[in-house]
Structure 1
Amino acid sequence: MDRRSFLKKATLASGAVAATSLAAPAIAQNKRTLKMVTSWPKNFPGLGTTAQRLADSITTMTDGRLTVKLYAAGELVPAFEAFDAVSSGTADLYHTSDYYFQGKHKALNFFTSVPMGLTANETDAWINHMGGQELWDELLASFKIKPFLAGNTGAQMGGWFNKEINTPEDLKGLKIRMPGLGGEILRRLGATAINLPGGEIFASLQSGAIDATEFVGPWNDLALGFFKVAKFYYYPGFHEPSGSTSLGINLDLYNSLSKADQELFKRAALAENNLSYSEFNARNGAALNTLLNKHKVDLKPFPDEVFQAIFNVAEEVTKEVSNEDDISKRIYESFLTVRREVGGWNRIAEQTFTQKRGKALG
């Protein structure tokens, strides 16, 4: 082998070694572990499991390039500090319900649920096609958070009570766990509304610290064992005709991602929003049958007089949010458009169909 050929091969070989030595650190540097905090107990059915499934999906879809490590409520920050953790950058992501943080801005209620508000499919229509996402982005940009829908409980139950509710007067003096604007409505009707994380409700109900509670619906309520300490189970859930959960991403982190990764987060959240809602619908029916037939729960509708009293105050409370500032006013007006237009369609289509189907089935 002549000298020139030898040097050429040696150069190529050394170049290959150099490329190999550079490639490994470069790949390693592209890998990131992201901290996701939640407001849910670890692996709690329907909420904790939704958060974990979303974390796992992002990890899988990036082949581990972005590994999402989930911290349940209390593991990294308390349940009601998830918002601040992501806003400040202490955590990268949250999975929670934004109405827990109405102290930051009252209009956050609209992006979980407001009393007498939107159903799950109406919420999806608003966020995905009627300007809701843009309003949400604008609201949370000031807190350095990028939000996405990432789950929905569907219509919720009215809650568990230690006494019957026959008239609006029966609400007076009642100590009830209810967050968001629903809690404010009950306060104006004479109750004492308390906000508690899911993991603290049973003990509070058992000890008498509260007289009643709502949480989600039969699947979650069965898991938490409320039937052991409360007798009456009321419906429907005036306070949450649906219950959106959200993925919040630290805005600096989100802006640092490639367009492809930003789209990946969006699509992962969208998929989980659908999976979560369908799972709640799949599980609630069987759980309700267990509560009624095995545990002999006393299922009751709110009397019309009670529901009407709640409705009247609900409209007042929700409208008041629009007076907070310009963004609140625009969110409220957009919400009203959706409730009128999509809600009107639903009354003609789905609501009429399900009512007539029920009548035909007997």
Structure 2
Amino acid sequence: MKRRTFLTSAGLAAAGTSVAMPAIAQGAPEIRWRLTSSFPRSLDTIFGTAQTFAKYVAEATDNKFQIQTFPAGEIVGGLQALDAVTSGAIECAHTPTYFYIGKEPALGFGTGVPFGLNARQQHSWWHFADGGKIINDVLGRLGAYSIPCGNSGTQMGGFFRKEIKEVADLNGLKFRIGGMGGQVLARLGVVPQQIAPGDIYPALERGTIDAVEFVGPYDDEKLGFQKVAKYYYYPGWWEGGAMLHLVMNQAKWNELPKHYQAIVSQACEAANNWMLAKYDAVNPPALRRLVANGAELKPFPLPVMEASLKAANEYYAETAAKNADFKRALDSMVAFRGENLLWWQVAEYSYDTFMVRTRGRA
């Protein structure tokens, strides 16, 4: 039954058209927003998540609330998305909060931190362990509000021009890596480079950088990294499950009718699931193609992982001693991680490990 037919048959217009129609109009105002993504249009899963979110909002409001999506570079660069939102130049952005740790280190926890939480744990921490409150308290002081809107799952370690056999091989390595991973690796001699997605391939091709991490096989293949770097490492320990956000101008969010806020929240949740499911579907065949075309798949050596964990813990301790918001986020995440890993060891890890061992027999 159409909405107007339902309203008429329910007798809601009985008090007179002059009263009922304005009330309906006021309840569902026509709103137009613009959204800037931190990613190029060619990355159809990440950029597609923003488009999917906007589609869900439009459909749920009979096209009364429309959000036009723009890829990185059309309005602002990928790393300037938060600034555009907080300044009021644009209503919202689809971006990872860890791009902005230079403004506030605690924002790294909104996306994911080295040796932190996997995708499901990150989502649970946000909703049920004060993660969302902690991050939005920080964003609120900048004039923004965020809702999770996508997750990549565990990422790859990236493409490298040379093999990484020991910790010493990291010394002097110019590595495109965002968030806290770069801060941690700098302690091991890496020279981290934060480069927007659209500018990564030229930098790798020219030799301006020696290695690059981005997301996973599907996007890495699209960006062509395998054409100029041979060694493909795993896992991307700097984010166990990278969460993206719809970051909105706080005033614009507050202006929305409550039912529009509810629709935005649920559309974000649906888009979040869409992105993770899409990556789970497209990464496996992409990895096969990359290896078939010459990529050499390698795990990070255990000494490199151990040294990175030690460096991460040192970085956390030093930063927490100087920054109360960071300490609050760290303490919350560590407590949640410890409790969750006990459960993971019993159920998820045991099941997944068995299934991996029996792959091909099941």
Moved more, 316-325 or 125-134: 316-325
Corresponding letter in the other structure for 1:203: P
Q: How does 1:52-91 map to 2 (within 5 A)?
A: 52-91=51-90
Match of 1:323, SS state, is: helix
Equivalent pair of 1:58/1:66 in contact (CA under 8 Å)? yes
Cα shift at 1:120 = 0.3
In structure 2, what is the equivalent of residue 254 of structure 1?
253
Q: Deviations over 1:197-248 (max 9, x none)?
A: 1111111000000010000000100111111010000011111111111001
- Local SS of the residue matching 1:146: strand
Structure 1 residues 280-302: Cα deviation after superposition (integer angstroms, max 9, x where no partner): 11111111011112x12100011
Give 3-state SS (helix, strand or coil) of 2:34's partner. strand
Partner residue, 1:115: 114
**2:109–2:135 CA contact under 8 A, matched in 1:** no
- Residues of 1 paired with 2:324 and 2:312: CA distance? 21
Cα distance in 1 between the residues matched to 2:80 and 2:93: 10
3-state DSSP of counterpart to 1:334: helix
Amino acid across the alignment from 2:85: V
> 1:29 Cα shift?
9.7
Q: Distance in 2 between matches of 1:337 and 1:192?
A: 31
Partner of 1:349: 347
Q: Given the alignment, which residue of 303, 306, 324 partners 1:305?
A: 303
Asked whether the equivalents of residues 113 and 239 of structure 2 are also in contact (C-alpha less than 8 Å), the reply is: yes
Contact 1:45–1:219 (8 Å) recurs in 2 = no
Q: How far does the alpha carbon of each residue in 1:170-201 deviate from its partner, in whole angstroms, 9 at most, with x for none?
A: 00111110011110112111111100011111
Alignment partners' CA distance in 2, 1:57 and 1:358? 36
Structure 1: unaligned runs, 5 residues or longer: 1-15
Q: Look up the match of 1:46.
A: 45
Q: Which amino acid aligns with 1:335?
A: M
* Counterpart selection for 1:332 from 330, 333, 336: 330
Contact 2:106–2:135 (CA under 8 A) maintained in structure 1: no
> What pairs up with 1:164-175 in 2 under 5 angstroms?
164-175=163-174
Equivalent residue runs for 1:1-362 within 5 Å: 19=18, 30-293=29-292, 295-361=293-359
The 8 Å contact of residues 43 and 49 in structure 1, kept in 2 or not, is answered as no
What is the TM-score with the length of structure 2 in the denominator? 0.91
Distance 1:130 1:189, change over 3 A: same
Aligned 8 A contact 1:319 1:332 in 2? no
Q: Which runs of 5+ in 2 are unaligned?
A: 1-15
Q: Secondary structure at the match of 1:91?
A: coil
- For the residues of structure 2 that align with 1:265 and 1:322, how far apart are their CA atoms? 33
Shift of 1:340: 0.4
For 1:355, give the aligned amino acid. T
RMSD (Å) for aligned C-alpha atoms: 2.1
Secondary structure class of the residue paired with 2:358: helix
Tell me how far apart the structure 2 counterparts of residues 117 and 146 of structure 1 sit (CA, whole Å). 23
- Counterpart in the other structure of 1:9: none
Larger Rg: 1
The answer on whether the counterparts of 2:160 and 2:211 sit within 8 Å (CA) in structure 1 is yes
Give the AA of the match of 1:314: A
Give 1:43 deviation, angstroms: 4.5
